Amino acid sequence: MNLDLTARQAEFRDEVRRFVHERLPADIQARLRLGHPPRKQDTVTWQRILNEKGWAAPHWPREYGGAELGQAERLILLDELFRASAPLPQVFNVGMLGPVLLKFGTDAQKRHFLPKLANLDLWFCQGFSEPGSGSDLASLRTSARREAAHYIVNGQKIWTTTAHLADWVFALVRTDAAAKKQQGISFLLIDLRTPGITIRPITSIDGQHHLNEVFFDEVRVPVENLVGEEGRGWDCAKYLLMNERTGIANVGLCRERLGYARELAGRLTEAGRPLLDSPKLRGEMAMLDAEIRALEITNWRFLLSSDTAQKTPGFASVLKLKGTELQQDIAQLLQRIAGPSAMERRPHDGDSDGAAHWAGPLAMRYFYSRAASIYGGTSEVQKDILAKTILG
Ligand SMILES: Cc1cc2nc3c(=O)[nH]c(=O)nc-3n(C[C@H](O)[C@H](O)[C@H](O)COP(=O)(O)OP(=O)(O)OC[C@H]3O[C@@H](n4cnc5c(N)ncnc54)[C@H](O)[C@@H]3O)c2cc1C
């Protein structure tokens, strides 16, 4: 497949590259290049800069703050952000809830929420998973009973990324316990300041606080915060998860991390010689490079040919599975290049020099990369889908 960009696409890539070069704050770029996750303020600052161009939500209609970019331009933009070690637009707002509101939301919901999602005036998190309901999401038990103009929500969510930083959560709740599994579920927008909500931190294996448990005790949610029809929340969830999968190959991220591995291996020495002199290491990097290239081609085929995507439903699973494996392989490679220094863990958000030490973030990143084969649908579940849809 020919992956050459058209003249217009190349022009767009150059425009994005120039913009990112001129506007991305150097301290944010330096932190992310070292392997730290973006701080909330990094994402807010950068997303607002991107939003000036409509590039925070590039696929949305212009009237709601987007730039109406096609698939190819979106991918080019994403690659350039990764290439520059820039934060990505906040995924729950832009990649998940935005598209759901555009398809299922009322006019009032679209007008109220979409501009705020694009500009990160509101930070949303995703309240889907529950204890015992992850891969089998439709078994969820958090309930919402209707009382006049409110739903009363009770139950628990878990693994809620950034709930402690968020203003709102979009949640799947069961509004009809008697209906068949998928049919009794509704999609609600819940203000996290509402009385009855408790957020408890979960520390993950990287020693950081990204995750939370969220408890709901008689939480009153106005009925106008229902998205789509009552009992049809599963349609919203399916649509959202489809959107989540589209960007999940993370080709640009793999390339950026491999580039960093090459840079480090050129700088670090063993017995007076750069690590990069090792033919074994170079061979390993060349293999990873080839795999990234193959994934890139698969990604373009998936995005540009809706026919292929429809005929082969397992395509998205290939991207998720392979993208995850590559991310994990590269995180592991970086960890090995850093050697014992990588075992030093530093808080990414410390007051002093969280960003100054180069090796600490690699260990955190390595540990966190293990989660990539769990969130967004586990690797085992992707393999099940592949077995059914492609192998038959
Ligand atoms: C870092 C991280 C961030 C997350 N962020 C969020 C978030 O923001 N919001 C949110 O709602 N959720 C979030 N999740 C939750 C995530 O979606 C679930 O962890 C995931 O769906 C798996 O569900 P589970 O943890 O309940 O595992 P289970 O579904 O119980 O799976 C346990 C094991 O059984 C395997 N398994 C399950 N079913 C099958 C099957 N049919 N065939 C073969 N094997 C199977 C799985 O692959 C896994 O190995 C996050 C998870 C992680 C790790």
Residue 311 has what pLDDT?
53
Residue 71 has what pLDDT?
84
244 is known as an active-site residue? yes
Residue 257 has what pLDDT?
97
From the CB of 375, is ligand 1 less than 6 Å away?
yes
Q: What is the pLDDT along the chain (392 residues), one digit of tens a residue?
A: 557 889 999 999 999 999 999 999 999 999 999 999 999 999 999 999 999 999 999 999 999 999 999 888 998 999 999 999 999 999 999 999 999 999 999 999 999 999 999 999 999 999 999 999 999 999 999 999 999 999 999 999 999 999 999 999 999 999 999 999 899 999 999 999 999 999 999 999 999 999 999 999 999 999 999 999 999 999 999 999 877 655 678 999 999 999 999 999 999 999 999 999 999 999 999 999 999 999 999 888 887 776 655 556 688 889 999 999 999 999 999 999 998 887 766 555 443 444 347 888 898 999 999 999 999 899 999 999 999 987 87
b/e for 137-154, b at 16 or more Cβ within 10 A? beebebbbeeeeeebbbb
Closest CA to ligand 1's atom 25: 134
Residue 341 has what pLDDT?
81
Residue 310 has what pLDDT?
53
From the CB of 368, is ligand 1 less than 6 Å away?
no
Could you tell me the distance, in angstroms and rounded to a whole number, from the CA of residue 387 to the centre of ligand 1? 19
Closest CA to ligand 1's atom 27: 134
Residue 268 has what pLDDT?
94
From the CB of 161, is ligand 1 less than 6 Å away?
yes
Radius of gyration, alpha carbons of the chain: 22
Domain residue ranges of the chain, discontinuous segments joined by +: 7-89, 124-232, 247-391
Cα 389–chain centre separation: 25
Catalytic residue among 73, 80, 244, 256: 244
What CA–CA distances, in Å, run from 53 to 15, 59, 124, 145, 156?
A: 11, 12, 22, 42, 39
d(CA 50, CA 320): 26
Cβ within 8 Å of residue 12, ≥6 positions away: 73, 76
Q: Which CATH number applies to 7-89: 3.30.70.260, 1.10.540.10, 1.10.10.10, 1.20.20.10?
A: 1.10.540.10
Note the pTM of the prediction, 2 decimals. Answer: 0.94
Residue 357 has what pLDDT?
73
From the CB of 367, is ligand 1 less than 6 Å away?
no
Q: Which CATH number applies to 247-391: 3.30.1050.10, 3.20.20.70, 1.20.140.10, 1.10.1200.10?
A: 1.20.140.10
Secondary structure (H, E, C), the chain: CCCCCCHHHHHHHHHHHHHHHHHCCHHHHHHHHHCCCCCHHHHHHHHHHHHCCCCCCCCCCHHHCCCCCCHHHHHHHHHHHHHCCCCCCCHHHHHHHHHHHHHHCCHHHHHHHHHHHHCCCCCEEEECCECCECCCHHHCCCEEEEECCEEEEEEEEECCCCHHHCCEEEEEEECCCCCCHHHHEEEEEEECCCCCEEEEEECCCCCCCCEEEEEEEEEEEEHHHEECCCCEHHHHHHHHHHHHHHCCCCHHHHHHHHHHHHHHHHHCEECCEEHHHCHHHHHHHHHHHHHHHHHHHHHHHHHHCHHHHHHCCCHHHHHHHHHHHHHHHHHHHHHHHHHHHHHCCCCCCCCCCCCCCCCHHHHHHHHHHHHHHCCCCCHHHHHHHHHHHHHC
Residue 340 has what pLDDT?
83
From the CB of 381, is ligand 1 less than 6 Å away?
yes
Residue 334 identity: L
Residue 265 has what pLDDT?
97
Which one of 129, 203, 210, 324 would you pick to mutate in the ligand 1 pocket, going by the greatest count of ligand atoms within 8 A of its CB? 129
Residue 355 has what pLDDT?
39
Record the tokens describing residue 81, joined without a space.
Answer: 């952000």
CATH superfamily, region 124-232: Butyryl-CoA Dehydrogenase, subunit A, domain 2 (2.40.110.10)
Which one of 135, 162, 170, 388 would you pick to mutate in the ligand 1 pocket, going by the greatest count of ligand atoms within 8 A of its CB? 135
